[in-house]
Structure 1
Amino acid sequence: MKTLPKIALGTWSWGTGFAGGDQVFGNYLDAGILRPIFDLATKKGLVLWDTAAVYGMGASETILGEFIKSSRRDELILSTKFTPQLASKNADNPVADLLEQSCKRLGTEIIDLYWIHNPTQINEWTHYLVPLLQSGTIKRVGVSNHNLAEIQLVNNTLKQAGFEISAIQNHYSLLYRSSEHAGILDYCKQNNITFFAYLVLEQGALSGKYDANHPLPEGSGRAATYNEALPQLQKLTDRMREIGATKNASVAQIAIAWAIAKGTLPIIGVTKLKHVEDAAAAIALKLSFDETRALEALADQAGVNTKGAWEKPMHS
């Protein structure tokens, strides 16, 4: 299996429809708009793409699949997810069924990293992954939005079949460090598991682009979540801007560099060329221990809870 880059690029807001760009983000993004973003990422060596069957109900995977057609598949690392709520009750292997649908949309026969998207009917799906790992249809497996006890349960079940969890994907940012406090980051280090951090930029609230005078787009899910909290984030984003000024880096790049400094692999949603530039530049940034601690202290002081409606607390 190829070595993972330091950053993954996310496609949650690609396409339209339920759980996709227009509803959650206030975006309307099609393949024509997104193509240059994919091309720039490839040029910069950002080849790890994270998507899911549920993003835009297949639209995100379909758009990414269009781009993959004109690329060398062996140079890309594809990460997508099995969402339990979409599983067929009648299938012999509901995980294999949904995987096959994802593969069709993505135009590939192999998925490099396949996730159980959430802990609905916890561990019921684990044994379905084993034949897919044995056949090589999926190279690695991960679990997303699981707490430590659930992660351990799935990992122990996989180990009985000679496999193990390769990755965890949870919400993790300066504003939301539940996985760290619950010991999940430590568990990952101890077991050679990659921790993928999503919502590192909190849907733009930590990008430096938005503040009390420049709120997120009205009518979107993210505006409802973050706009009220923007005044509380001012001191934090101001400090991020100051640190960035000493390193010729943007606020967004500082947020990403913080996540890398914490030993995680951030997933950065890309809908503009600038997002790719920020991701690529952040890889080279180094934050000192003191800078990291100062940002965390200001984030704690802000007292903003950004736990998603789909999430449960990470403490088991």
Structure 2
Amino acid sequence: MNTLSKTAPKIAPKIALGTWSWGAGFAGGDQVFGNHLSDAQMQAVFDVAVQADLNLWDTAAVYGMGSSETALGAQIRRHLQSHRRDSLLISTKFTPQIADAQSATPVADMLAQSCERLGTDSVDLYWVHNPTDLNRWTSQFVPLLKSGKIKGFGVSNHNLEQIKLVNDTLAKAGCRIAAVQNHYSLLYRASEHAGILDYCQANGITFFAYMVLEQGALSGRYNSQNPLPEGSGRAESYNKVLPQLQTLTDAMQQIGARHQANAAQIAIAWAIAKGTLPLIGATKPQHVSDAAAAAAIVLTTEEIATLERLAEQTGVDTKGAWEPEMA
């Protein structure tokens, strides 16, 4: 029997909110997204999310080298002054590349540092961020699961073979993977084609879809005349392909009009229709409100087929340099 069946988090929200863009500095939101969020802006985003019953927040130790966790932690501490800890689901990640090579317990060490920044004694989901030194870290998550320091364990940026290996290793200790977090969007469906979505569904694993909006390129807000912010990592990646995306984003807007929604909400609704839990970057209150409303949109089979056909016709491949081959 799974020893974690009573402690693994019940992931209820249809949408998770990401705070990668809340950090600054190396691998932070200013460099990657061209964002510079103030404390007041982050507070406004957090408060709108609470009001919309979106309580699942995702970050990582490496985002801005701890600054994303620190920024989110400020909002968590404020929230917990008047709310119970279980009113939030907190998700963060162990990133192998920044592990302390001199420590005998690098996973527990990084978790402790994350918890201190986040203002919590435990996290609801703790991930291994990528398959670097695959399976080397898996056993170190087991005592953290059994002690309740983490309620559920996930793997991110892993292909199907890697996911199965980690899950088989955990099973020997009476544990299991609770969630998988991979890049998944209309433009990048590798996890679907490789059978990862089917594996997750068959094994009760929640699939978190990140980059559903492709860092804004599928939001409908950007085109050749209005490109993404110059000087940011996303501008370098996407501005050159915006002309190829125009037909797709136009169709997303047209489908959105039928549902009283915008293009970004259609991208989110599509990801939900595919059985995934979209992870949406939260930088403005309107982004959060739109995401919450998107959860209620039900696309038709024909609309889904149209979106997928036009996405394939773009010829755009958005696989990240950090991602392994999924098949």
On whether the aligned pair clears a TM of 0.5, the verdict is: yes
Confirm whether residue 287 of structure 1 aligns to residue 295 of structure 2. no
Give 1:237-316 correspondences, 5 Å limit.
237-315=249-327
Secondary structure, in 3 states, of the residue corresponding to 1:114? Answer: strand
Give 1:73-112 correspondences, 5 Å limit.
73-112=85-124
Shift of 1:92: 1.9
Q: Deviation digits for residues 50-85 of structure 1, max 9, x if unmatched?
A: 000001110110011111112122200000000001
Q: Indicate the residue corresponding to 1:29 in structure 2.
A: 37
Give 1:132-147 correspondences, 5 Å limit.
132-147=144-159
* TM-score (norm: length of structure 1): 0.98
Q: Deviation digits for residues 39-58 of structure 1, max 9, x if unmatched?
A: 00001000000000001110
Q: Deviation digits for residues 133-177 of structure 1, max 9, x if unmatched?
A: 110000000000000000000000000000000000000000000
Shift of 1:31: 2.0
CA distance in 2, matches of 1:309, 1:149: 19
Q: Indicate the residue corresponding to 1:44 in structure 2.
A: 52
143-152 or 21-30, which deviates more: 21-30
2:72 alignment partner, one of 57, 64, 86: 64
Q: Deviation digits for residues 5-24 of structure 1, max 9, x if unmatched?
A: 00000001102111111110
Specify the code of the residue in structure 1 equivalent to 2:298: K
Q: Deviation digits for residues 238-291 of structure 1, max 9, x if unmatched?
A: 111111001100100000000000000000001011110111110100001111
CA distance in 1, matches of 2:11, 2:153: 15
CA distance in 2, matches of 1:2, 1:76: 12
Shift of 1:88: 1.0
Secondary structure, in 3 states, of the residue corresponding to 1:208? Answer: coil
Q: Deviation digits for residues 193-239 of structure 1, max 9, x if unmatched?
A: 00000000000000000011110011100000000100100110111
CA distance in 2, matches of 1:70, 1:60: 16
Name the count of aligned residue pairs: 315
CA distance in 1, matches of 2:285, 2:44: 7
CA distance in 1, matches of 2:42, 2:143: 35
Structure 2 unmatched ranges of 5 or more: 1-8
Higher relative contact order (CA 8 A, sep 6+): 2
Q: Indicate the residue corresponding to 1:187 in structure 2.
A: 199
CA distance in 1, matches of 2:227, 2:321: 21
Specify the code of the residue in structure 2 equivalent to 1:231: P
> Are the equivalent residues in 2 in contact too, given 1:16–1:29 (CA < 8 A)?
no
Specify the code of the residue in structure 2 equivalent to 1:286: V
Q: Indicate the residue corresponding to 2:232 in structure 1.
A: 220
CA distance in 1, matches of 2:11, 2:57: 14
Q: Indicate the residue corresponding to 1:13 in structure 2.
A: 21
Secondary structure, in 3 states, of the residue corresponding to 1:267? Answer: strand
Secondary structure, in 3 states, of the residue corresponding to 2:112? Answer: helix
Q: Indicate the residue corresponding to 2:61 in structure 1.
A: 53
Shift of 1:189: 0.7
> Are the equivalent residues in 2 in contact too, given 1:30–1:63 (CA < 8 A)?
no
Q: Indicate the residue corresponding to 1:233 in structure 2.
A: 245
1:208 alignment partner, one of 216, 220, 223: 220
Specify the code of the residue in structure 2 equivalent to 1:61: E
CA distance in 2, matches of 1:155, 1:232: 39
Specify the code of the residue in structure 2 equivalent to 1:138: I
User: Matched residues, percent identical?
Assistant: 66
CA distance in 2, matches of 1:3, 1:218: 37
> Are the equivalent residues in 2 in contact too, given 1:15–1:30 (CA < 8 A)?
no
Shift of 1:3: 3.7
Specify the code of the residue in structure 2 equivalent to 1:190: A
RMSD: 0.8
CA distance in 2, matches of 1:3, 1:127: 24
Secondary structure, in 3 states, of the residue corresponding to 2:127? Answer: strand
68-77 or 189-198, which deviates more: 68-77
Secondary structure, in 3 states, of the residue corresponding to 2:221? Answer: coil
CA distance in 1, matches of 2:24, 2:78: 23
CA distance in 2, matches of 1:137, 1:102: 12
Shift of 1:32: 2.3
* TM-score (norm: length of structure 2): 0.95
